[in-house]
Amino acid sequence: MTMLRIVANAADVDNELNRREPSDIELLHAISMDLIGEHDLTALYGKIVDAAMSITGSQFGTMQLLRKSEDGSDKGLELLISRGLAPQDRAVWEFVRPTAHSSCTAALKSGRRAIISDFEAWDQIAGTDDLLAFRRAGIRSAQTTPLRSRQGTLLGMISTHWSEPHEPSERDLRLLDILARQAADLLDRTMAENALRAREAELEKTVSVLRETEELQKVLTGELGHRVKNLFAMVTAISSHTLRGSSDQARVQTLQQRLMALSSAHDILLQSSWQSALLGDVAAAAVNGAGVAGRVRLDGPDIAIGSKASLSLALLLHELTTNALKHGSLSVGSGQVDVSWRVEQSAEDEVLRLTWRESKGPEIVKPTKTGFGSRLISAGLVGSGVVFLAYNSTGLVCEVSARIGNLQGAE
């Protein structure tokens, strides 16, 4: 004869409390206070199971967590805590699959409380290894109450087992429902904390990988910078050696200085992994490289420009500085240069306007011949925008304008 009974859980805890005997209320209050005072998770699980066994007068008790199997094939019940089971019996029920025969799997399938008043009289378990396991453990009957979150999600089970055939009373089941509410809240909190810890661990792992990647990138960038600097030095040496016998040593020196200007811009770009640089940093490096830092005043907002624009600006300012040293205001002790830049809003885009203004130098005239430097200046920044040159009696004025969007690309 079948001895499995599926029953509904108490729906309204408050109404049940109103109908409770005073001794029952005191018992639940004592259990609640005991749980509140306990912070160790395993101890909390144990106290809940102990309370369930005390309510039902059972000899065994378990609390289980619903989770996926190791292979992910199905969901089962993982044993969190047990009372009364020998180690070999506990090992049998460490993880219970839905195909097993027990009160907890019956409750798992139905989603409701399952009561088996006598395993020996339960048709479905007859002749199975599960029945033999219950016999070895000394278990003859059981009840399992599902643990659900306040949102209705099934979290696990709490079960009590007796060594003799047993049918729990309605009073016992009502108290179990109230205890199950506390157990479900605890499980819900535990699962949320475990999920948070897992996310924190994963985040820490990701951060660690990013740190390692960043460190590796710094090493690689440093190595690349070192090799490129060596390359610049080698190119400078080769050009110097190749042109050593040249009658135009000024041209040789000009080539070397241009290479040095590119090298300085390259150093700045390395600090941002060759992505961008501040216009002011590039301008300062170009001026410092020519040895006239104290005579060239730089003024303008922080503007990030791409690698191509940075190299172009370095060469442009190098040519202007070189010309000023040879023919312009920097060729005399009283001469001075002001370099300023600003951003203006046009109808289509923001526009950078950079102005080179020489003063207190000799009177200059427009050159009759145009060399590479003049063509480089006339090309402007990244080969785009507009260049205005004025050869005033007070000194050269060069204004370069270009769209910000064209200056911020890496290429």
Q: Between 302 and 292, whose confidence is greater?
A: 302
Query: Is the per-residue pLDDT at 93 higher than 90?
Result: yes
Confidence band of 88 (pLDDT split at 50, 70, 90): very high
Query: Is the per-residue pLDDT at 65 higher than 60?
Result: yes
Burial class (CB in 10 A: 0-12, 13-18, 19+), 199: exposed
- Tokens 């059981």 correspond to what residue? 142
CB-based contact 55:145 (threshold 8 Å): no
Query: Is the per-residue pLDDT at 62 higher than 80?
Result: yes
Mean pLDDT of the chain: 80
Phi, psi of 402 (to 5 degrees): -160, 150
Q: Between 198 and 252, whose confidence is greater?
A: 198
Distance CA 170, CA 10 (A): 10
Report residue 306 as tokens.
């791409």
Domain boundaries, the chain: 4-198, 271-407
pTM: 0.49
Distances in whole angstroms, Cα of residue 369 to Cα of each of 57, 288, 366, 374, 383: 110, 28, 9, 9, 21
Confidence band of 186 (pLDDT split at 50, 70, 90): confident
6-20, 45-59, 98-112, 341-355: lowest mean pLDDT where? 6-20
Distances in whole angstroms, Cα of residue 161 to Cα of each of 49, 292, 361, 373: 11, 92, 104, 95
DSSP class of residue 381 equals B
* 3-class DSSP state of 285: helix
CB-based contact 53:60 (threshold 8 Å): yes
Query: Is the per-residue pLDDT at 401 higher than 70?
Result: yes
Q: Taking Cα atoms as reference points, which of 145, 143, 136, 120 lies closest to residue 87?
A: 136
Mean pLDDT for 21-37 is: 63
pLDDT for 236: 60
Residue 353, number of CB atoms within 10 A of its CB: 17
Asked whether this chain's domains 4-198 and 271-407 adopt the same fold, the reply is: no
Distance CA 355, CA 402 (A): 12
Mean pLDDT for 146-163 is: 93
Distance CA 365, CA 384 (A): 26
Q: Note the CATH architecture for domain 4-198.
A: 2-Layer Sandwich (3.30)
Confidence band of 36 (pLDDT split at 50, 70, 90): low
Confidence band of 102 (pLDDT split at 50, 70, 90): very high
Q: Note the CATH architecture for domain 271-407.
A: 2-Layer Sandwich (3.30)
173-177, 282-286, 348-352, 368-372: lowest mean pLDDT where? 368-372
Mean pLDDT for 331-360 is: 88
Distance CA 21, CA 19 (A): 7
175-179, 279-283, 347-351, 377-381: lowest mean pLDDT where? 377-381
Confidence band of 114 (pLDDT split at 50, 70, 90): very high
